[in-house]
Amino acid sequence: MDNMTEFADSDLSRIIEMAWEDRTPFEAIEQLYGLKEPGVRRLMRRYLKASSFRLWRSRVSGRVTKHRALRPQGVDRGYCPTQYKR
């Protein structure tokens, strides 16, 4: 499902939002939308301005929270516990 034309505008917006979030792993995007990390990179390159794409790539490159396998043991959530206060 790497074909980006299959996504509705609302889905594209959510994928981009999830990709920008520090604690949302690429695996979560794959699970929800069937788009693996290389597909997310292509999507971001296509839909962001060049400067925004470069900023995003430098931000997520090497970030352990963007890859579930690299996360410290015991971190099994995609958000900070204080993010959704009631």
**Domain annotation covers residue 77:** no
- Checking if the pLDDT of 1 tops 50, the result is no
Q: Is residue 83 part of a domain?
A: no
User: What is the number of structural domains in the chain?
Assistant: 1
Q: Print the domain residue range for 63.
A: 13-70
What confidence tens digit (pLDDT) does each residue in 27-48 have?
Answer: 889 999 999 999 999 999 999 9
Phi and psi dihedrals of 46, rounded to 5? -75, -40
Give me the mean pLDDT over the 17-34 stretch.
89
Q: Which string of DSSP letters, residue by residue, matches 18-43?
A: HHH-TT--HHHHHHHH---HHHHHHH
Q: Is residue 46 part of a domain?
A: yes
Query: Does any domain span residue 6?
Result: no
